[in-house]
Amino acid sequence: MAEHTLRDKVAVVGGGEKNLGALISRTFAGDGAKVVVHYHTGEKEAEETVRAVEDAGGQAVSVQGDLTDVAQVRRLFDTAVDTFGGVDIAVNTTGMVLRKPILETTEEEYDRMFGVNAKAAYFFLQEAGRRLNDHGRIVSLGTSLLAAFTDGYSTYAGGKAPLEHFTRAAAKEFADRSISVNVVAPGPMDTPFFYPQETPERVEFHKSQAMGGQLTHIEDIVPLIRFLATEGWWITGQTLFANGGYTTR
């Protein structure tokens, strides 16, 4: 029976430099994991996250890459193997949000949104499936908009929707190696990722739809991802909505 802890495990965290990804990186390291902190443009934040891990006595390395480029996804996992000898956990928090009416969305915006939210997610899953040790854990970040009926987010929710199907297929295909594959779908999160898309009035509306009248906090999501990477190993192929009752399915 595999040990269901993070001690001495190696974790790759896509978008691990800031916001939710940074908290995952620091939490995993605090529990004894070695962490590969991926970033796209946030070099300063990645350096700060790695430094925080090292200052706390852990081990971490940062890797820059555009995950819509499959070669760079492979290089990310190559770095984990070359630096730490293998990979046990892969968490992908990367994504791009756009709130725009369908009639105003350009082809370039569509391609970019699906590149980040669907293509990058697919090939992150693929490479994780190739490179993870047996009894590994894969967690991807979805969105509670998958269970919502709303306007404006066609390319964001639409681009995230395939992730559920990728995850179900991967859970079946990787099951013989005891690798679990899941999606965590938060509600609107209190991070800089959210606010540029919304008016103050809509922010208040989103808050009103969740328990306690608040947005989802990154601190609400990290324990769930940690659980899926450890004691929750028997959960696989699922989308877990963690949103304070914002929406359900």
* Active-site annotation, residues: 156
Closest residue by Cα to residue 168 from 206, 198, 187, 142 = 142
Question: Residue 176, class by beta-carbon neighbours within 10 Å (0-12 exposed, 13-18 middle, 19+ buried)?
Answer: exposed
The tokens describing 173, both together, are: 């295909």
**What SS3 state is found at 99?**
coil
Residue with tokens 């082809």: 107
Question: Which residues in the chain belong to E strands, given as ranges?
Answer: 10-14, 34-39, 60-64, 87-92, 132-141, 180-186, 239-242
- 88 neighbors 77 (Cβ within 8 angstroms): no
